[in-house]
Amino acid sequence: MAGFYSDFGIDEHVSAYCEGILAPLRARFDAIDAIAERNQAKVLRAMQQNRVDAACFAGSTGYGYNDAGRDTLERVYADAFHTQSALVRPQLVCGTHALAVALSANLLPGDELLSPVGKPYDTLEEVIGIRPAACSLKEYSVSYRQVDLLPDGGFDYDGIRAAINEKTKLITIQRSKGYAMRPTLSVARIGELIRFCKACKPDVLCMVDNCYGEFVEPIEPSDVGADMIVGSLIKNPGGGLAPIGGYICGTRACVDRCAYRLSAPGLGQEVGASLDVKTALYQGFFMAPVTVAGALKGAIFAARLYESLGFRVIPDGQEPRYDIIQAVELGSAEKLIAFCEGIQAAAPVDSYVRPVPAPMPGYDSDVIMAAGAFVQGSSIELSADGPLRPPYSVYFQGGLTWYHAKLGIMMSLQKLYEKGLVSLPEAI
């Protein structure tokens, strides 16, 4: 492989060091493959039980009435995630949109939204009204309260108990870390939090932002009491094939309201043309467990590599994995930019492009994003991004195959190495 790597401009010292990092990881990779096999069986069984056939792939136009393939896909999602109902639509343009629909559909004026895991992901700040924005929940008299995690990443149960009151209607739990250097939540920990919140107020709704976490574990938050789980199809569950879309899975009452909010009261899930994307949505969901497994291997490799060089990484190279994101605290804008240049240079699309920091809608600081993807913005494909603010952390994720993820990480190190931003010890 040395000649192969040299074709990509990877120095022999860099490739030898990376191969030394990989050697002890084989047992962990085997464990990831075992989880992928279980999740693959779960998805396959859901497709078989719902009698998916070639007719399900036919497109629909206009109102989308009697779109049997769309309706079957939603039953497949509901069965795979063990929920009463599901809304899986190309009209949900991204994860933020799906979350906004779920929140606005299930919160009314005078209700309060509570986040017991600290500040949500940047793009939700304007949805909620933390940062002023037109059509935010705050404009519609929905109040917001949050309880930060404890310094050790634990839940502040006393603070949560005190925050839940007669107005608390919905609790939002972000599974992944977003742009925060905090641990991702395991499904087990999410279950503990949901049980605690419902013990405090039995009728409170619990919604989990499931982005980046689908198929990482054998079970999902819907298996431990979540009323809704929400995510994007151009992340894990789309398997890299879905060109657009989002999902909301949960109780029938919650999902019905989401469908009315997405379309119109009285119309709900009866309308919504799927055009010609259903084959990709079905096939992507089928491929997702294996695709996620490759991304997880890449994340573990990145963690072990960069922690060996003295960088702070979350999670570290030994910890269990609960999402596909690997955070690396690089410490300077120069290192953050160089890392992203390496990821971009490893892409199959736009590999010749140099990513630069720029303002992004929904963010309060410049952001650099590296993603040479077949689907624009697809985070299950090889990508890395981060805000240009201290501590200059990069968030690496994806790779449709483990081998591509591996190459991307090696290229990120190569860019740091050739710019003199990191020194390599002797190969391990």
Our CA angle for 117, 261, 201, nearest 5°, is 40
pLDDT confidence of residue 121: 87
* Assigned token pair, 339: 């890392």
CA distances from 77 to 42, 74, 86, 96, 382 (A): 10, 5, 6, 19, 25
Q: What CATH number belongs to 54-285?
A: 3.40.640.10
Q: Strand 228-232's sheet: what is its strand order? A: 85-89, 246-250, 228-232, 205-209, 168-174, 112-115, 143-146
Task: Tell the burial category of 174 from Cβ atoms under 10 Å away from its Cβ (0-12, 13-18, 19+).
Answer: buried
* CATH architecture, domain defined by 2-39+289-418: Alpha-Beta Complex (3.90)
pLDDT confidence of residue 35: 98
pLDDT confidence of residue 425: 85
pLDDT confidence of residue 306: 98
Contact 411, 346 (CB under 8 A): yes
Q: Strand 326-329's sheet: what is its strand order? A: 312-314, 326-329, 393-397, 383-387, 367-370
* Assigned token pair, 132: 């002023």
List of residues 6+ apart from 4 with CB closer than 8 A: none
Q: How many residues does the structure list for the chain?
A: 428
pLDDT confidence of residue 122: 84
List of residues 6+ apart from 270 with CB closer than 8 A: 65, 263
Q: Structure pTM?
A: 0.94
Return left, alpha or beta for 119; rule: phi > 0 is left, psi -120 to 50 is alpha, else beta: beta
Give the chain's residues under pLDDT 50. none
CATH 3.90.1150.60 residue spans of the chain: 2-39+289-418
CATH 3.40.640.10 residue spans of the chain: 54-285
Return left, alpha or beta for 333; rule: phi > 0 is left, psi -120 to 50 is alpha, else beta: alpha
Contact 89, 73 (CB under 8 A): no
pLDDT digits 0-9 by tens, 309-362: 999 999 999 999 999 999 999 999 999 999 999 999 999 999 999 999 999 877
